[in-house]
Structure 1
């Protein structure tokens, strides 16, 4: 019996899908194809790999501290999945991330087979995915490394390639001859014509001990530093946190560069199992248009998500988040509307959205990392209006949740309950405020908002004062461990 642990690598910010994907709510948590997020789809796919000879155990999610509650909330919406969240205090790329998962997997002298997948891909044919991954599990059971290679259908220049050699083994696995960097168009055309190359999917299957041994062989610096951070871990189930100080010293490197690309011809055999399952890594808005063509494309090749009206428009993707978008007489465009930013791009240039992101970073614009609607462990807030000396927010608090006990030096707040019941702490008084009632929090007063009810609480908050930044907050008590 093959014991399998799914490993979901849930880092990254997906900047090429700005303005929908941002650091505070990145690509993997978005619903871009189907009815669930890419992260939820990844978790569900790898939890459906069980067979007569394969058992699937606890899912390991490697994500960062900032996204812990977002990950947990989306996991709770998936029935029958138990997960442990390994929280990186800072991003160190995929090699240290996988090492954390392998160290967790080998606790108690276990050595399961890890099925490792990024959290931000989509697959159109789940049955083909399941078959290929089951083959990979069986091929990796003897200690080898198996990488999933995507059967190419075009001369793609945006992916790395895997060159195979020899004939297929018992599980359809080929020996990997070498890895190739992203090629020129001419080289990509030659790869496609030759039939010996597949795209590198970033999905791997291998025993936990195999990864730890290979990493120690090829990159002992990463292995030693990550082990030191792991030894200093703290556990607050379902969260496991490596030492913040030690993890900051771990070299940043990808799985590919650290180990995989060094394996061909070494003492660590690496094989490739081909995957032809409608895979896409949704690396740019053009890819989102492509994967939504089946069943969502109109007769003119347009794909629309949200409220939009089109006239004389062809081969265009429109995503409308909060208002009506109209398009007249245009072709081959990407239009993405959010409450605080609108992207218009030529579809063929959608990879270059990163150039806008670089400008946002240089200008230190808030739109780089936060949406107007910001998710928090207790719910969310939406900043619907602001000007000099005032800001208006719509706030939702989950049933049973509460904000921190806090105070502000520069602003007062008025709260109007529009749905549910609020428990309001203001100074030494605790009161219940119900629908259509309001309360006032004076400047400098210690206060807290909580939802004691069974339905979401919604309030309108009006802030007034000389400074209204999110950093004007002193927390005294916080359920979610924020400073």
Structure 2
């Protein structure tokens, strides 16, 4: 099996921790990011591939490296156009690589599954059914009458089974149809029917079978995708004209036959702060240590997440969700966090960068966090990975002071190599060519203080660059 992880979402419902520049799947709400958790879960079934957008390349590349996966396992869309184009591109790339007869397991990057044993049994069952040419979906047994999910309705017909370690069997059943997100009364009917299951966006299929379905149901899209070169060099031009449509709408709801495996695998899409709070209460092994410095006085049933682990006091308030980050604070009543996405829209409308941007950014060589930014100066904490170096560059409108905090820096200043260690400083004048290398085995960390008339990231002239940005 080829596990494929779709990792293109922006996760605005979990603002301010998740933002467009650093979305949910890369955030560490627990001891690892959701993407890392997904990769770890799927590794026993094959080498996971990731489909994401090119703007997430630096974050994705770092994750692949950290998880011991080759960089060639990533497929980068030039822009997000929903799940149908993403799956079509993935099938096209795998087919060009001679893997058209392989079974793909397709999974969202930002979901959580706590019963790995049951998940493995269900996945192996789905793999066997998909090898026969069937399209297989995993249906989640509804815990409550959810109005935020689509539903899959199954028939009595069973095509294959596998033993459930908790008793009974997992049954692969024929699908009667898909249902859009229902109202409350219909959701209650679905929950009690025993035939309706949440559509969690997890599918298994053979690559060439899905290609045939695109040719049948979305021929124009497939004809466009098929023109994309193996190195994806012409993908941007083609992608801009593709229809923005989900795989459910474009393919799944049009099929005469498909199979669903209803299951209970401890699944959550972690789609809101309310769900994060529920998981912290119900799954002790996932409980974060962010509450270590939270103090309550006549305050009950509150959930607090502090990205900086600062001391937080609550007095006389109940059932709140409090999310604190260095540059933004969210306070919500429990049960209301689904409205966070609308709130972010309002913040974005008035032009606040905090709606989409974090004070930290990831780069191919490491990353930086902005500590202060005003009209007189800008301060960053910069981390350079072992073996990495920044581009050889200059700035027209600012000078820089670098102070090494940890690690060993090899600074190149106007072609002169200057070593610097912890506690040492170097001054970079305006228009001076400069770069820094980390030749050590530990991360290099230094503080940068910029002075001048303009501190934008676009004030940069690159002369040499390891990442083809010069």
Q: TM-score range by the shorter chain?
A: over 0.9
For 2:164, the equivalent position in structure 1 comes to none
* TM-score normalized with structure 2 length: 0.93
| Closer, same or farther: CA 305–255 of 1 in aligned 2, 3 Å | farther
For 2:165, the equivalent position in structure 1 comes to none
Q: Which runs of 4+ in 1 moved over 6 A?
A: none
For 2:27, the equivalent position in structure 1 comes to 30
* TM-score normalized with structure 1 length: 0.90
2:5 to 8, 23, 27: 8
Alpha-carbon distance, 1:310 to partner: 2.2
1:271 to 251, 259, 270: 259
2:315 to 313, 318, 328: 328
1:208 aligns with 2:199: no
Q: Check the 8 A contact 2:348/2:356 in 1, yes or no.
A: no
Alpha-carbon distance, 1:320 to partner: 0.6
Alignment gaps of 5+ in structure 2: 162-170
| Closer, same or farther: CA 109–377 of 1 in aligned 2, 3 Å | closer
SS across alignment from 1:439: strand
SS across alignment from 2:160: coil
Alpha-carbon distance, 1:294 to partner: 3.1
Rounded to whole Å, the distance in 1 between the matches of 2:82 and 2:469 is 24
1:136 aligns with 2:135: no
1:317 aligns with 2:314: no
Please, what is the CA RMSD of the aligned residues? 2.1
CA deviations 1:184-203 (Å, max 9, x no partner) are 11110011121110000100
Q: Check the 8 A contact 1:292/1:303 in 2, yes or no.
A: no
1:463 aligns with 2:450: yes
Q: Check the 8 A contact 1:86/1:241 in 2, yes or no.
A: no
Rounded to whole Å, the distance in 1 between the matches of 2:420 and 2:387 is 15
1:408 to 392, 395, 412: 395
Alignment gaps of 5+ in structure 1: 50-55, 235-239
Rounded to whole Å, the distance in 1 between the matches of 2:414 and 2:70 is 42
| Closer, same or farther: CA 109–280 of 1 in aligned 2, 3 Å | closer
Equivalences for residues 56-95 of structure 1 within 5 A: 56=46, 58-79=47-68, 84-95=73-84
Rounded to whole Å, the distance in 2 between the matches of 1:218 and 1:326 is 57
Rounded to whole Å, the distance in 2 between the matches of 1:184 and 1:99 is 32
Q: Check the 8 A contact 2:92/2:225 in 1, yes or no.
A: no
Matched pairs, number:
459
Rounded to whole Å, the distance in 2 between the matches of 1:355 and 1:224 is 37
| Closer, same or farther: CA 180–17 of 1 in aligned 2, 3 Å | same
CA deviations 1:411-443 (Å, max 9, x no partner) are 111111121221112223221122222111111
Alpha-carbon distance, 1:482 to partner: 3.1
CA deviations 1:24-79 (Å, max 9, x no partner) are 2110112224x221111111222224xxxxxx3x3221112122232222233335
Rounded to whole Å, the distance in 2 between the matches of 1:119 and 1:84 is 14
Q: Check the 8 A contact 2:79/2:239 in 1, yes or no.
A: yes
Instruction: Tell me whether 183-192 or 446-455 shows the greater mean CA deviation.
Output: 446-455
1:117 aligns with 2:110: no
1:247 aligns with 2:239: yes
For 1:365, the equivalent position in structure 2 comes to 352
Q: Check the 8 A contact 1:221/1:251 in 2, yes or no.
A: no
Alpha-carbon distance, 1:260 to partner: 0.5
| Closer, same or farther: CA 91–82 of 1 in aligned 2, 3 Å | closer
Instruction: Tell me whether 118-127 or 77-86 shows the greater mean CA deviation.
Output: 77-86
1:341 aligns with 2:337: no
Rounded to whole Å, the distance in 2 between the matches of 1:242 and 1:256 is 27
